[in-house]
Amino acid sequence: MVAQNVVFWILAVAMVLAAIGVVRSQNVVHAALYLVVVMAGAAAQYILLAAEFVAWVQVIIYIGAVIILFLFGIMLTRAPMGGDGDLDNDQRWPAAVVGLFLAGVLASLLIDAFGDKEVAISGAKGAETLATGKSATIADLIFRSYVVPFEIVSILLLAALVGAVVIARRD
């Protein structure tokens, strides 16, 4: 028990600091790299929660593709590689207020709603938790109960692909 908590807390702190780095960094590339840290941390959290399949998919897709995409985008939208100027607009403080406000509302609601409920990781419940994250279970669910959303998502991907090409086309 204690081990998982410790890991969790380390990961949590790292993720939060990295997230703040994403939104406060004055260098775009640095922001992207901080985002990598956040995503890696997320993947580690998934493993803590016995969802290995999701964790690895996170790593492959998010860190492997999405971040690369981001870096390409950064590259294509900064003619001179180098200093970025001021990356924050003029509503920083209202945004901070809103963010803090939302955080407060959400946190208090969550604590009020869920109190001290625990995720079972030991004993019979723990075995069940583990069984939830098995690939076989997930595959079974996808292709049996959620096959239609699966198909639709594939069409969505196709549409996104075509759309991105069309939008970014130079003519």
Partner 1 sequence: MILNQFLVLAAVLFCIGVYGVLARRNGVLVLMSVELMLNAVNINLVAFSAYLHAAAGQVFALFVITIAAAEVGVGLAIVLLIYRNLHSPDLDRVEQLKG
Partner 2 sequence: MLDYAWIIVAVPVLSFFLILFFGKKMPKHGSEIGITAVGASFVMSCVAAVQWIQRVEDATGKGAGEALKAFGKGIIPTATEHEAIVTPVIHTVTWWRNGFLTFTAGTSIDGLAVMMLFVVTLISLLVHIYSTAYMHDDVRYTYFYAALSLFTASMLTLVVAPNTLQLLVGWELVGLCSFMLIGHWWEEKANTNAALKAFLTTRTGDIGLMIGVIVTFFAANRTFDIQRMNTLALEGVNGHTIWLVGASCLLIGIIGKSGQFPLHTWLPDAMAGPTPVSALIHAATMVVAGVYLGARVYGVFWQGFSIADGGVNPMAAIGAITIIIGAALAFVQDDIKKVLAYSTISQLGYMVMGLGVGAWVGAVFHLFTHAFFEALLFLGAGSVSHSGSHHSFDMKKDMGGLRKFMPITFWTFMIGSLALAGVFPLAGFWSKDEILATAGQSGYEIFMVVGLVGAFLTAAYMTRCVWLTFFGEYRGHHHPHESPKAITGPLIVLAGFSIVAGLANASAFGIEKFKEYVEPHGPWFPHVVQPDFDIGLAAISFAIVVVAIGIGLFFWLDRKELRGLKGLTARSGAAKAGHGFLVNKYYLDHLYEGVVVAGIKGPIARASYWVNMHVIDGVVNSVGKGSAALGRLTYRYVDRDVVDGAVNGLARETDQAGGLLRPLQSGRLQRYALFLFASVGLIALAIAIFG
What would the two tokens of residue 88 be?
Answer: 């924050």
Contact between 146 and partner 2 by CB under 8 A: the answer reads: no
Of the candidates 61, 102, 131, 156, which one interacts with partner 2 according to CB under 8 A?
102
φ, ψ of residue 43 in degrees (nearest 5): -60, -40
Binding mask 32-71 for partner 2 (x = CB under 8 A): ----------------------------------------
Q: Assign 146 to helix, strand or coil.
A: coil
Can residue 109 be called a binding residue for partner 2 (CB under 8 A)? Answer: yes
94 binds partner 2 (CB under 8 A): yes
156 binds partner 1 (CB under 8 A): yes
> Which residue in the set 14, 37, 56, 133 belongs to the binding site for partner 1 (CB under 8 A)?
133
Residue with tokens 């981001």: 70
Alpha carbons 55 and 43: distance in angstroms, whole number: 5
Judged by beta carbon, residue 104 or residue 149, the one nearer partner 2 is 104
How far from each other are the two terminal CA atoms of the chain, in whole angstroms? 60
CA distances to 16, 24, 97, 99, 121 from 92, rounded to whole Å, are 19, 10, 9, 10, 41
Q: Which residue's entry shows tokens 């204690």?
A: 2
Q: Between residue 78 and residue 107, which ones bind partner 1 under the rule CB under 8 A?
A: 78, 84, 86-89, 91-92, 94-96, 98-100, 102-103, 106-107
State the CB neighbour count (10 A cutoff) for residue 31: 19
Instruction: Kindly state whether residue 111 participates in binding partner 2, applying the rule CB under 8 A.
Output: no
Of the candidates 4, 5, 27, 91, which one interacts with partner 2 according to CB under 8 A? 91
Nearer to partner 1, 82 or 114 (CB): 114
